[in-house]
A and B are shown apart, each in its own frame.
Chain A
Amino acid sequence: MKHYITEINPNGTIAVDDTILVKEYETTAGSKILEGFVPLFSAEAVERLINAGYEISGKTNVGEFGLDLLGEFSNSGAVCDGEYLVGAAADLIAKGEIKGALSVDLNGAPRRAAAISGIDFIKPTYGTVSRYGVIPCACSGEQIGVSASNADGLKELLSVIAGHDDKDGTSLPAEKYEYSLDENVSGMKIAVIRELYDKASDGVRAGIDSFKEKLTAVGAQVEEITFSLVEAAQTAWQIALAAETCNNVSRYEGVKFGYRTPNYKNIDELYVNSRTEGMNFLSKAAILYGSDVLSKGRYNYCYDKTLKIRRVVHDAVKAVFSEYDAILAPACGETAYVPYDIKDAFSRVFAESIFTAVPNLTGIPALVTNGVQLMADVYRESVLLSIAKSAEGRE
Chain B
Amino acid sequence: MTKYEIVIGLETHVELATDSKIFCSCGGHSSANEPNDCVCPACCGMPGMLPVTNKKVVELAMRAGLLLNCNINRYATFDKKSYYYPDLPCSYQITQWFHPICTNGSVEIKTKNGTRTIGIKQIHMEEDAGKLVHDDWTDTSLVDFNRTSVPLIEIVSKPDFRSSDDVLAYLENLKAMLRFAGVSECEEGAMRCDVNVSIRPEGSTELGVRTEIKNMSSLASIERAIKYETARHIDALERQTEVLVQETRRWDDIKNRTFSMRNKETAADYRYFPDPNLMPIVIDDEWLDSVKASMPASAAQKAEEYKGYGIADKDVEMLTAERNLCDLLDSVIARGCNPKDSVAWILTDCAGILRKNGQIMRNLNISGKKLARIITMVGKNEITRAAGKKVLAAVIEKDVDVDEFCRENSLNAQTDQSAILAVVTRVLDSNAAAVQDYLGGKQKAFGALVGGCMRELKGNGDPATIRSLLEQELEKRR
Q: Which residues of B contact A291 (CB under 8 A)?
A: 271
Partner of A253, one of B47, B49, B51, B84: B84
Q: Which residues of A contact B41 (CB under 8 A)?
A: 39-41
Q: How would residues 355 to 374 of chain A score, 1 for a CB under 8 Å from any chain B CB and 0 otherwise?
A: 00000000000000000000
Count how many pairs of residues, one from A and one from B, have CB atoms less than 8 Å apart in the complex.
90
Judge if B133 is at the interface, Cβ distance under 8 Å. no
- Complex: how many Å from CA A291 to CA B268? 12
Judge if A271 is at the interface, Cβ distance under 8 Å. yes
Q: How would residues 123 to 151 of chain A score, 1 for a CB under 8 Å from any chain B CB and 0 otherwise?
A: 00000000111111001100000000000
Assess A136 versus B272: contact at CB under 8 Å? Given A41-B41, A255-B143: no
Pair A132/B276 contact, Cβ less than 8 Å: no
How far in angstroms is the closest Cβ of chain B from A192?
31
Pair B276/A244 contact, Cβ less than 8 Å: yes
Interface of A is mostly: loop
- Complex: how many Å from CA A40 to CA B49? 11
Assess A21 versus B86: contact at CB under 8 Å? Given A41-B41, A243-B273, A294-B272: no
Question: 8 Å CB contacts to A: which residues of B135-183?
Answer: 141, 143
Assess A294 versus B47: contact at CB under 8 Å? Given A250-B84, A251-B90, A255-B143: no
Pair A294/B273 contact, Cβ less than 8 Å: yes
How far in angstroms is the closest Cβ of chain A from B377?
48
- Complex: how many Å from CA A134 to CA B48? 5
Q: Which residues of A contact B4 (CB under 8 A)?
A: none
Judge if A341 is at the interface, Cβ distance under 8 Å. no
Judge if B124 is at the interface, Cβ distance under 8 Å. no
Pair B50/A271 contact, Cβ less than 8 Å: no
Pair B47/A247 contact, Cβ less than 8 Å: no
Judge if B44 is at the interface, Cβ distance under 8 Å. yes
Assess A169 versus B47: contact at CB under 8 Å? Given A251-B91, A267-B86, A303-B273: no
Judge if B266 is at the interface, Cβ distance under 8 Å. no
How far in angstroms is the closest Cβ of chain A from B58?
13
Report the count of interface residues on A (CB-CB < 8 A): 41
- Complex: how many Å from CA A303 to CA B276? 13
Residue of B nearest to A43 (CB): B48
Report the count of interface residues on B (CB-CB < 8 A): 30
Pair A251/B47 contact, Cβ less than 8 Å: yes
Q: How would residues 314 to 337 of chain B score, 1 for a CB under 8 Å from any chain A CB and 0 otherwise?
A: 000000000000000000000000
- Complex: how many Å from CA A136 to CA B271? 18
Q: How would residues 83 to 103 of chain B score, 1 for a CB under 8 Å from any chain A CB and 0 otherwise?
A: 010100111100000000000
Question: 8 Å CB contacts to A: which residues of B39-54?
Answer: 41, 44-53
Pair A250/B92 contact, Cβ less than 8 Å: yes
Pair A247/B50 contact, Cβ less than 8 Å: no
Assess A250 versus B44: contact at CB under 8 Å? Given A132-B50, A139-B277, A267-B86: no
**A residues neighboring B (CB under 8 Å):** 21, 29, 34, 37, 39-41, 43, 131-136, 139-140, 166-170, 243-244, 246-248, 250-251, 253, 255-257, 267, 271, 291, 294-296, 299, 303, 307
19 more contacts with CB within 8 A, not counting A132-B50, A253-B91, are A40-B41, A40-B46, A136-B48, A139-B276, A166-B52, A169-B50, A169-B53, A169-B277, A169-B278, A170-B279, A247-B273, A250-B84, A251-B47, A251-B92, A253-B84, A256-B44, A256-B45, A271-B84, A294-B272
**B residues neighboring A (CB under 8 Å):** 41, 44-53, 80, 82, 84, 86, 89-92, 141, 143, 269, 271-274, 276-279
